[in-house]
Homo-oligomer: A and B are copies of this chain.
Amino acid sequence: MFAKRTELLKASEVRELLKLTGKAEIISFGGGLPAEESFPVEEMREICDEILRDCGAKSMQYAVSEGYAGLRENIRELMGQKGIYVNSEDILITTGSQQGLDLTAKVFLDEGDTVLCESPTYLSAINAFKPFYPRFAEVEMDEDGLVPEALIRRLEENSRVKLLYTVPDYQNPTGRRMSLERRRAIAEIANEYDFIIIEDNPYSELCFDNIKLPPIKSFDTQGRVVYLSTFSKTVCPGYRVGWACASPGIINKYVLFKQGTDIHTNYFAQMQIARYLEKYDIQAHIRSNVQIYKSRRDAMLDTIEKTFPREVTYTRPEGGMFLWVTLPEEVNTKVLLKKSLRRGVAFVQGSAFFPNGGHENTMRLNFSGLSEEKIIKGISILGELLKEELSLA
């Protein structure tokens, strides 16, 4: 009865864990929730009132698939600040950047095409692409992100490479930031080997050390980088407002599939974000968010340092929301998760982030969505468990 692709997908462990977080007693490092304390609630209250007062029924009507012109113009400006100079016509408003991934699959992927991605990569990108039956070829990373030499090896080994999917800033799940040299190198490799780069960049603003690197798209000389981003991490995720930016020949295809996918993104929500950008200083808002996230990262790193066994290694992200833990090979985090849940602590097992499986000894920890107190408590419990596990092993 069902399509074959239904066999390819399992329920997102992150989402299933989100349901767990509904239970107050669980300390969940599994989700990817931005800090609620940072949401501009009172500002939105004013904004909603203003939109309904000024635009009335128009804000509730059907709208064009491309998105609200005012918001596209705001985004054009934001992109310019990052060194990406485009027209607002090159921007499509998407229903979160997750929809950017779904549209990417529809626009580019034929069955059997090769998708290159970091190893590990964003779980929900795998789930967005898989229904279109690509092959995944994973590219090794190090602390500076995707390794260009490894990318070239994969290009030589694989046929039908359609696209590279990459999260250069504070990658989900590892928290790693790709170096400036590599960004430039990868844009050049794409020109040489003729493939598309999907640059998924939701976390770039959440930068802790003030070293903001230019996006890969700023090195795009041939219109072959599709840039995806979102307001989920800078304003709020519940409104599901993101965008895709690409050259006109590409973005027009995205618009075409957007029509059959959900016609257009919530028009009121687009107006809410646009008015927020116009009325308030989003950079100041982000700076205060970043303080929260940085403190939480510090709390997590400090507690890991104090409580995790020596054999455990982990990343030290300079931004974003996640860090990545590698345990000795004999530990299986799927088994560990069950034990951990019994003690009231959740995380995501790392194997979920490898499209071709394996790496059972890894896990992703989120530090953005919990108070420092909870982070310290939860990480200490996890450290205790890990010590027991490793002394047993």
B9 touches A237 (CB 8 A): no
Residue in chain B with minimal CB distance to A41? B56
A33 touches B6 (CB 8 A): no
Task: Give chain B nearest CB distance to A257 CB in angstroms.
Answer: 7
Cβ contacts A18-41/B at 8 Å (1 or 0 each) = 110000000000011110110101
Task: Give chain B nearest CB distance to A6 CB in angstroms.
Answer: 5
A130: B residues at CB distance < 8 A: 260
Residues of A within 8 A of B (CB): 1-6, 9-12, 15, 18-19, 31-34, 36-37, 39, 41-42, 44-45, 48-49, 52-53, 56-65, 95-96, 98-99, 101-102, 106-110, 113, 124, 127-128, 130-132, 162, 196, 232, 236-240, 253, 255-257, 259-269
Number of copies: 2
B107 touches A2 (CB 8 A): yes
8 contacting pairs across A/B (C-beta < 8 A): A1-B162, A3-B113, A12-B259, A48-B48, A95-B240, A98-B260, A128-B261, A238-B267
**Cα distance, A61 to B38, chains bound together (Å):** 11
A39: B residues at CB distance < 8 A: 56-57, 60-61
Partner of A108, one of B1, B128, B256: B1
Task: Give chain B nearest CB distance to A371 CB in angstroms.
Answer: 14
B53 touches A256 (CB 8 A): no
A52: B residues at CB distance < 8 A: 41-42, 44-45, 48
Residue in chain B with minimal CB distance to A133? B111
A95 touches B262 (CB 8 A): yes
- Whether A260 contacts B49 in the complex (CB less than 8 A), given A57-B36, A238-B266, comes out as no
Partner of A262, one of B96, B113, B259, B267: B96
- Whether A45 contacts B45 in the complex (CB less than 8 A), given A6-B107, A18-B64, A237-B61, comes out as no
Task: Give chain B nearest CB distance to A62 CB in angstroms.
Answer: 5
- Whether A196 contacts B1 in the complex (CB less than 8 A), given A260-B98, A265-B240, comes out as yes
B53 touches A36 (CB 8 A): no
A60: B residues at CB distance < 8 A: 36, 39, 41, 44, 236-239
A260: B residues at CB distance < 8 A: 9, 12, 98, 101-102, 124, 127-128, 130-131
B253 touches A266 (CB 8 A): no
A18: B residues at CB distance < 8 A: 62, 64
Task: Give chain B nearest CB distance to A289 CB in angstroms.
Answer: 13
A131 touches B102 (CB 8 A): no
Partner of A15, one of B3, B95, B259: B259
B6 touches A110 (CB 8 A): no
The listed residue with most B CB atoms (<10 A of its CB), out of A48, A64, A196, A269, is A48
- Top 8 closest pairs, chain A to chain B, by CB: A48-B48, A60-B236, A127-B260, A238-B267, A36-B57, A39-B57, A45-B52, A128-B260
- Whether A98 contacts B261 in the complex (CB less than 8 A), given A41-B52, A45-B49, comes out as yes
Residue in chain B with minimal CB distance to A263? B98
**Cα distance, A269 to B132, chains bound together (Å):** 30
Task: Give chain B nearest CB distance to A128 CB in angstroms.
Answer: 4
Partner of A266, one of B9, B49, B106, B266: B266
Q: A10-B256, A48-B48 are in contact. List 12 more A-B contacts (CB 8 A).
A: A1-B162, A3-B107, A9-B257, A34-B62, A41-B52, A45-B53, A60-B236, A60-B238, A102-B262, A127-B259, A239-B266, A266-B269
A232: B residues at CB distance < 8 A: 62
**Cα distance, A351 to B31, chains bound together (Å):** 48
